[in-house]
Chains A and B, each alone.
Chain A
Amino acid sequence: MSIMANYHALTGNEAVAYAMKQIAPDVVAAYPITPQTSLMQKFSDFVADGDVDTEMILVESEHSAMSACVGAAASGVRTMTATAANGLALMWEIVYIAASSRLPIVMPVVNRALSAPINIHCDHSDAMGARDSGWIQLWSENAQEAYDNTIQAVKIAEDPDVRLPVMVNLDGFVISHGMENVDIYDDKKVKSFIGEYKPLVNLLDLKHPVTIGPLDLQDYYFEHKRQQAEGMMHAQKAIDKVGKEFGASFGREYDIVEGYKLEDADFVIIGLGSTMGTLRMVIDEARKSGMKAGFLKLRVFRPFPKEIVRKHLKGKKAVAVLDRSDSFNAVSGPLYSEITSALYGVADIPVVNYIYGLGGRDTSVSMLHRVVKDTYDISKSGKCDNILNYLGVR
């Protein structure tokens, strides 16, 4: 099947807003925050011009945004919001409630540093802080992926075996405000790809009244948490399936992870988000100078693809993990903890950690060259003396 590309010059935020227009959620409740603002502004234009018939709730805070989303989603309609950084932090309490109530809300998170000090630029501390909230997390390398992930997120969230909300992460400013050529798909094809939403329960079904959000004590709470965990366990299969179906429909197939020159690599750099784009070039250059480098990009951080990570890292001589947030646990960043946990007991590989790009600090080609060179040295010596490194800090 040949698929005609339909490229538009769009920023990441515009591309995601376009995906939202095509998804046409019944309800969107949102509050503006940099760098998410231009996303909601664009979507508001679509609503104001009648290009989409979504009912918008322009709330007075992110807390109310997620609260209204919970109310709408519990009423059985397709529901979306978007936020960033402090906005995500303010809705934190309800972020957990959305997941625990098994409501398939989709939320682009335009990743930005958390305060203090206040900083509007990219890092991953917002989404990483919410990594145990029970939301599925998709991560995007560029505007195309942000657009594609947003469309897929709807189907993943609503999968009957999953029924969990999904965060679509895109790097603030780097992706959200950078303009790229984005292949926009046909409205009707997107509509048919996501299909009709069939909610399991619905507050508005007068024939079947339901109580949502009851008090759940020692005798049942644990079982409900276990069921929630089960939903997340099913998520990887659903994400995989939706990624393949997406490929069949639109010509871009998505895996849980993406490897670059990974198969024959001696050592591997792991990360997520836009920095992986820069890393492609750095790896090409490293290869030219005789270093057998490769990368493993995680498109999915929740559920954590443990087995896939293990499979790809088995037999490698060294691994570097790039973390665009700090856990402040005096050991490592959050991604490092997950990777080393996956490797525990199956492979004895030295793994080095780089905290980088906090508060939008530019991560230059030369910095990534240093990461590649250091990891190469570790692969040769088999030793990693200094696990925790802060890349590009003065």
Chain B
Amino acid sequence: MATIKELLQRESALSSGHRMCAGCTAPIIVKLISLASKYPLVVSCATGCLEVATTIYPYTAWKCSFIHNAFENSAATISGVETAYRALRKKGKIKNEIKFIGFGGDGGMYDIGLQALSGAMERGHDILTVCYDNEAYMNTGIQRSSATPKGAATTTSPAGKVIPGKKQFRKDLTGIMAAHKIPYVAQASPSHWQDLVKKVEKALEIKGPKFMNILMPCTLGWRFMVDEGIEMAKLAVETCFWPLYEIENGKHAVTYKPKEKKRLIEFIEKQGRFSHLKKEKNKHIIDELQKDVDRNWEELLRKA
């Protein structure tokens, strides 16, 4: 891994002055990814927080070339860019080695953009696709997605008198991508930045399609204080709610094992989106969530 000194000598793809929320962890993720790359980058981004808050015309916070096309097609768009690059390289019209990254939130990758993501991965493009997973449609005002945890209150799965938040468990997108048998799939978190940087460095050296799912705590949607984002990410990892692992050519490896696996309640109790779960009648949901986390963690350890 590049040393911290080396990383800091590189230029972040995202400049300061963008209009992401105070306390947003998405720009931290983008900065870490771009510092991890020793290659020039060209990126695409799905419609969403990261796109609308970094490219308000006539300004752009992106120092590298950037394309936003629509909500559901970041992966398809960057596959077109990468193919154009290959066409030009073949003809000797372009000399530099460029790496391509397609960003999308959980809306753009888990849900409306799942088909385009699956297609781009299956076709074998030499691209890294990154889901910044903040577990709901935050840009449009915190609506539920298939990445929203069970029990979480969103504006379309509110904690009502009858229904206590989202009824379903989250979708395992990392697992779905692993099932594509692409050369590299990983889960990362901005709290464990060295692990994240290492994974990006590794991914960019692998030829072919790569996918990284990165947890992105959202101060507005999860309802925690603006200085607690990294702490939330850390708790997600320490409770094994968001395990850090990678699958390289089919081989699972857990890249961080908490010394002592924390109870999920420690992650849940700090977030307003779960506050209704403290009620006696909803406590069974916390138990279900804990069981789900335990089962997934054991399954992961078995595979690794």
Contact = CB atoms under 8 A, between A and B. Distances in A.
Nearest to B40: A206
Interface string A221-235: 000000000000000
Interface in B52-67: 52, 55-58, 60, 62-67
Contact of B79 (A71, A93, A204): A71
Contacts of B119: 59-61, 64
A27 B84 contact: yes
Contact of B116 (A27, A63, A72, A216): A63
Interface in B33-73: 40, 42, 44, 51-52, 55-58, 60, 62-70, 72-73
Contacts of A67: 69-70, 73, 76-77, 80, 116
Contacts of B44: 71
A360 B115 CA distance: 32
A64 B116 contact: yes
Interface string A59-78: 11101100111111111110
Contacts of A214: 55-57, 60, 68
Contact of B77 (A54, A68, A217): A68
Interface stretch (B90-98, B161-169, B186-194): B90-98
Interface in A219-264: 220
A314 B134 CA distance: 63
Contact of A203 (B42, B72, B76, B96): B42
A77 B89 CA distance: 12
Contact of A69 (B64, B78, B80, B120): B80
B80 A211 contact: no
Contacts of A89: none
A130 interface: no
Contacts of A64: 73, 76, 79, 115-116, 119-120
A220 B123 contact: no
A213 B68 contact: yes
Contacts of B94: 204
A210 B66 CA distance: 6
A58 interface: yes
Contacts of A211: 55, 60, 62, 65-67
B83 A27 contact: yes
A119 B171 CA distance: 37
Nearest to B66: A211
Interface residues of A, number: 42
A57 B57 contact: no
A53 B90 contact: yes
Given A57-B123, A71-B44, A72-B83, A220 B65 contact: no
B304 interface: no
Most buried by B among A69, A74, A214, A216: A214
B88 A204 contact: yes
A53 B93 CA distance: 14
B58 to A, nearest CB: 7
A116 to B, nearest CB: 22
Contact of B62 (A57, A59, A209, A216): A209
Contacts of A54: 87
Nearest to A205: B65
A214 B76 CA distance: 18
B51 to A, nearest CB: 7
B57 A217 contact: yes
A288 to B, nearest CB: 55
A213 B69 contact: yes
Which of B52, B81, B84, B116 is the most central at the interface, judged by chain A CB atoms within 10 Å of its CB?
A: B84
B122 interface: yes
B94 to A, nearest CB: 6
Contacts of A97: 69-70
B81 A71 contact: yes
A211 B60 CA distance: 7
A27 B42 CA distance: 18
Please list the 5 inter-chain residue pairs (A to B) with the smallest Cβ-Cβ separation, ordered nearest first.
A71-B80, A60-B119, A68-B80, A75-B84, A67-B73
15 contacts: A26-B91, A63-B76, A64-B119, A71-B77, A71-B79, A75-B85, A97-B70, A204-B81, A204-B88, A206-B40, A209-B63, A210-B66, A211-B65, A213-B55, A213-B69
Given A64-B119, A77-B84, 14 more contacts: A27-B84, A61-B116, A67-B69, A68-B76, A70-B67, A71-B80, A72-B83, A72-B84, A75-B88, A77-B88, A94-B70, A209-B66, A213-B69, A217-B57
